[in-house]
Amino acid sequence: MSQRKIALIANLTSNNSRNQFKFDRFVYDRLVNSGIEVSLFQTSSLEDLKKKVKESLDNDVNEFVSIGGDGSLHHLVNQLFSQVKDISKLKLAILPKGTGNDYARNFNFKSKRDILQAIIAQQYKKVDIGLLSYTHGDKHFINMLGLGFSAAVVKKLNRYKWLGGMSYYLALIDTFFSYQAEKIELTIDDQAHSWDCFQLSIGIGKYAGNNMKLCPQAIIDDGLFDMNIIEKVSLWKLLRYLHTLKDGSYLNHIPSKSFKARSIQLLHTSNLDCEADGEEMACPQKVTILEKRILMPTTSN
């Protein structure tokens, strides 16, 4: 039997703690001591990531562990999709050490050590992923697509990233009093809709924006998006119920619509900001669920 190989990819540009190198080495040692051949890459750019992914694939590596935030895993997944014909044959994992660590919350691990143990024990399951279709190609997302307010917040996030988890809240406040709802037209599983949209969240996972439950009914392996639209809302009402974003109960207090969907066509969205997994990007023409397409660690129960 050939030895297991894992590419351990640490993102040096994510908001990792001062103990970054110590943690990277701890993970490396635990994996090596479990009889796994490990290559540790500490990347500082997308071009660097691209090279390290290619080097790993050329070395017949089929397991990748990302150390960083949701954006780190987002970029790793997109690099893998661009270089591998069938990503479902690979095993992926994230050890959260970034500004936004929302995706891992969907798996109910109690600690990063538990995630590491699941990797060692090869406790994996297939989960869904999102496909973003553009005129000149595709991209993918692992957790949540946000249009409107959340994407406007992401635009301002970099100026506060040095504050860690608090950065989301400061960027949110910075955006809060100036953002206005925009007209949005879309087709949800062949049904046409139109709203004045403050925020559109299309979730594979439940959480975004540093533990805000924007898509409370999302299940990461059910083949459906949990889609929630906050309609035009007064700033007073939004401020009054802002705390309900934490538990998802905002849907009971703020004018909103909820859907389960497999495919969403976006029309006339040139005025809307867009982000996926906390990464700013252009608004796609279509969003599609890819059911049970990637393998991720899971708890044993």
Q: What is the residue range of 207's domain? A: 141-291
The answer as to whether 283 is a domain residue is yes
pLDDT tens digits for range 202-228: 999 999 987 889 999 999 999 999 999
> What are the DSSP calls for the chain, one per residue?
-PPPEEEEEEETTS---TTHHHHHHHHHHHHHTTT-EEEEEEE-SHHHHHHHHHHHHHTT--EEEEEE-HHHHHHHHHHHHHH-S-GGGSEEEEEE-SS---GGGGGT-SSHHHHHHHHHHT-EEEEEEEEEEETTEEEEESSEEEEEHHHHHHHHHGGGGGGTTHHHHHHHHHHHTT---EEEEEEETTEEEEEEEEEEEEESSS-BTTTB-SSTT--TTSS-EEEEEEES--HHHHHHTGGGGTTTGGGGTSSEEEEEESEEEEES-TTS-EEETTEE-PPPSEEEEEEEEEEEE----
pLDDT tens digits for range 76-99: 999 999 999 899 999 999 999 876
Query: Stretch 263-274: mean pLDDT, rounded?
Result: 85
Are 79 and 217 in the same domain? Answer: no
Are 145 and 268 in the same domain? Answer: yes
Domain termination residue (choose one: 70, 98, 126): 98
For residue 165, the domain's CATH number is 2.60.200.40
pTM, rounded to two decimals: 0.92
Domains in the chain, number: 2
